[in-house]
Structure 1
Amino acid sequence: MKYFDYAASTPLDEEAAQVFVKASTEYYGNSNSLHDFGGQANELLNHCRQEMADLLAVQETGIYFTSGGTESNFLAIRALLTSAFKTGKHIITSIAEHSSVISVFQQLEEEGYETTYLPFNENGVINLEQFNKALKEETVLVAIQHGNSEIGTLQPILEISKICKRNNILLHSDCVHTFGKMDLKPIAKAVDSLAISGHKFYGPKGSGLAYINPQLNWLSFFPGTVHEKGFRPGTVNLPAVASMTVAAQKAYNELQMNHQHDLSVRSAFLRGLAPIMSHCIIYDALNEDQLPSTVGLRMKGIEGQYVMLECNRRGFAISTGSACQSDMHAPSKTMKAMDVKLKEAKEFIRISFGRSTTVNDATELAAALTTIIKQTLNQ
């Protein structure tokens, strides 16, 4: 079986796994305990905090370790709302946001907030003119995903940030799909908060972090919480934090190499689709606004779930979109954001590459997809 679902989850890096075991067996004290075991654990935790802050070029006082992207998105958005620059109950996000962002916005609507959900243009990117028109005097928060997890398009966060700053609006960005694939220092500087998840860049599942600008005076969603300076309850998972930190450092050290690798694999895959390209629709952005590791596409007239099962039968693991909604039998949110009709949206599949994907692997997958579509159309 060959794996093409790295956008859903990656295997744990071997070095990161060794660090996980070492931290579990040697630094098992509670980092909040006052004895020496707790002190050793706290020292390692603070070291990891500084290392992650260095990767983002932010202050370590703004780094909060969490259980992953979902918790980071939820708590960061909640924290920003307690430190809004002005009074108002209007918030903005996109139709294609991860379910963890959509769900918290739905909660906020029940609490009296008004939400504007922005669509994508034909290139899978938010239109800045539409964004500007959506702004109101009462707008206090914007949450826009940096990289789309289904088609890999990059949103204009730097431009959105400038607009938000001019209007005293706080900005959160879900960076789960981009951390480890590109340098996020400019993004971290531009936003008020962001979220990442360890298992997307060869770290352990159940690890992640939220960054919140230390200049903001936020209130805890869980009053009385002492862990992570009141950001979240529960003992910090130090082995996961240490393991994630090692995986993050390795990802940053290999950014350029992995980017070139993904470009080569993507090119080979798309070349392999040439015989059936007239039956395919590839969704991507232009030039540097596209992550090469993610390919979102439709095969006209064939449901994505059928294609996924046929690929699985042939030894290739692909997906039909975000793993966080795959069991809901709902069409891709990204397709909805791009105004793709329901029937066509159900044709969507996602191919995503990783470190271990070879050009030959990609060529073989393209050949399998070619066979599937030819056989299906000839039935």
Structure 2
Amino acid sequence: MKYFDYAATCPLDQEAAQLYVQTATDFFGNTSSLHDTGGQAQQLLETCRKEFAHMLKVHEEGIYFTSGGSEGNFLAIQALLSSPIKSGNHIITSIAEHASIHSTLEKCKQNGYEVTAIPLNQDGHIDVETLTDAIRKETVLITIQAANSEIGTSQPIKEIGKICRDNGILLHSDCVQAFGKLDMQEMVQSVDSLAISGHKFYGPKGVGVVYLSPHLHWHPFYPNTTHEGGFRPGTVNVPGIAATTLAAQKTIAHMEEQYHHSLKLRKVFLETINAKGKQIVVYPSDLPSIIGLRMKGIEGQLIMLECNRAGYAISTGSACQVGSQAPIKTMTALGIIGKPAKEFIRISFGKNTKVEDVQQLGETLIKILTGHGG
């Protein structure tokens, strides 16, 4: 099977896997235990915290480890809402956010918050004027993803951050798809919190990282929690965190190299499908590793199944929305509805993707389109 679904998850880096086993074997203590075995695990945990703080250029007091991006988004938003700059009950987001953001905000609605979800413009970006117009005096939080997982557009987080500061609004950003692909150091200075997930950059599943501004006086969502400074309960996954830290270091070190590799792969793919240009709609992207497209007249699910039969793993959008009958949120955010919205497929590249495989995938898609009368 040729894998083209890196935006959903990545294979575990071999060195990270080895470190996981070593840590689980040698540093197995509970970080809250007061004996030396627990102290050794705690020391390693704090080393990982310092490393992430160094990579993001933030204070280590603001780094918290979680079970992944979805939990990170939930807990970060709850923390921000527990320490608003001003009183109010209004939140702004985008229609294209990850499912974990939408589900968190549905919970917020049950607690009395009003939520405004704004669309993307035709280029797949947040229109800053539209966002500004949505702000009310009661707006206390804005949550906007740094990079879209389905078409790969990035958002003007720095500009949105300034708008938030000018209006006394807190800003959270889902950076799960952005880490290791975009420069995070400038972005992190513009937000009050962000969340990332290890398995998106060749770390193990079940590990995430949240940055939460140390200047905020937030309250724990779970009362009487002691782990991670009260941010989340449960024994800390030190082996997973150590492996994720190594995977993150390697990803950051090779970020520019991977960017150019993805650019090359994207160019080859687009050249391969060019012959069917009018029948294939390719959406704008700022991340060359993600290609969102539609093949007119064929449902994305059928294309995915045909590709799977031919030995290619692609997707029809975020894996967290599989099973939903509704079109993916990004299509809705772009104003694409009905049958065209269900024609969407996503192809995403990684460090193991080969040029010849990309070319063959493109040729396979053309065969599928031709076989359906395209």
Shorter-chain TM-score bucket reads over 0.9
Q: Which amino acid aligns with 2:187?
A: I
Q: Give how far 1:110 is off.
A: 1.2
Q: Give how far 1:182 is off.
A: 2.1
| Structure 1 equivalent of residue 335 of structure 2 | 339
**Alpha-carbon deviations, 1:71-119, whole Å to 9, x = none?**
0000000000111000000000000111111011111111111110010
Q: Give how far 1:205 is off.
A: 0.2
Q: Give how far 1:330 is off.
A: 2.2
Determine helix, strand or coil for the equivalent of 1:85: coil
Q: TM-score, normalised by structure 1?
A: 0.98
| Structure 1 equivalent of residue 187 of structure 2 | 187
Q: Give how far 1:329 is off.
A: 2.8
| Structure 2 equivalent of residue 366 of structure 1 | 362
Alignment check: 8 A CA contact 1:65 1:207 kept: yes
Q: Give how far 1:130 is off.
A: 0.3
Query: Given the alignment, which residue of 314, 320, 335 partners 1:318?
Result: 314
2: CA distance between counterparts of 1:107 and 1:334? 21
Determine helix, strand or coil for the equivalent of 1:321: coil
Q: How does 1:111-126 map to 2 (within 5 A)?
A: 111-126=111-126
| Structure 2 equivalent of residue 130 of structure 1 | 130
1:15 maps onto 2:15 in alignment? yes
Alignment check: 8 A CA contact 1:183 1:252 kept: no
| Structure 1 consecutive aligned stretches of length 4 or more whose deviation exceeds 4 Å | none
Alignment check: 8 A CA contact 2:198 2:208 kept: yes
1: CA distance between counterparts of 2:294 and 2:140? 37
Q: Give how far 1:231 is off.
A: 0.2
Q: Give how far 1:327 is off.
A: 1.6
Identity of aligned residues (%): 56
Determine helix, strand or coil for the equivalent of 1:217: coil
1:105 maps onto 2:101 in alignment? no
1:44 maps onto 2:44 in alignment? yes
Q: Give how far 1:342 is off.
A: 1.8
1: CA distance between counterparts of 2:27 and 2:323? 38
Determine helix, strand or coil for the equivalent of 2:320: coil
Query: Given the alignment, which residue of 330, 347, 356 partners 1:351?
Result: 347
Q: How many residues align?
A: 374
Q: Give how far 1:273 is off.
A: 0.4
| Structure 1 equivalent of residue 143 of structure 2 | 143
Alignment check: 8 A CA contact 1:282 1:295 kept: yes
Q: Which amino acid aligns with 2:352?
A: S
1:229 maps onto 2:225 in alignment? no
**Alpha-carbon deviations, 1:318-358, whole Å to 9, x = none?**
00000001122321100000010121100000000000001
Determine helix, strand or coil for the equivalent of 1:215: coil
Alignment check: 8 A CA contact 2:327 2:337 kept: no
Query: Given the alignment, which residue of 291, 295, 300 partners 2:291?
Result: 295
Q: Which amino acid aligns with 2:202?
A: Y
Alignment check: 8 A CA contact 1:321 1:332 kept: yes
2: CA distance between counterparts of 1:183 and 1:253? 12
2: CA distance between counterparts of 1:36 and 1:89? 47
User: Over the residues paired in the alignment, what is the CA RMSD in angstroms?
Assistant: 0.7
| Structure 2 equivalent of residue 282 of structure 1 | 282
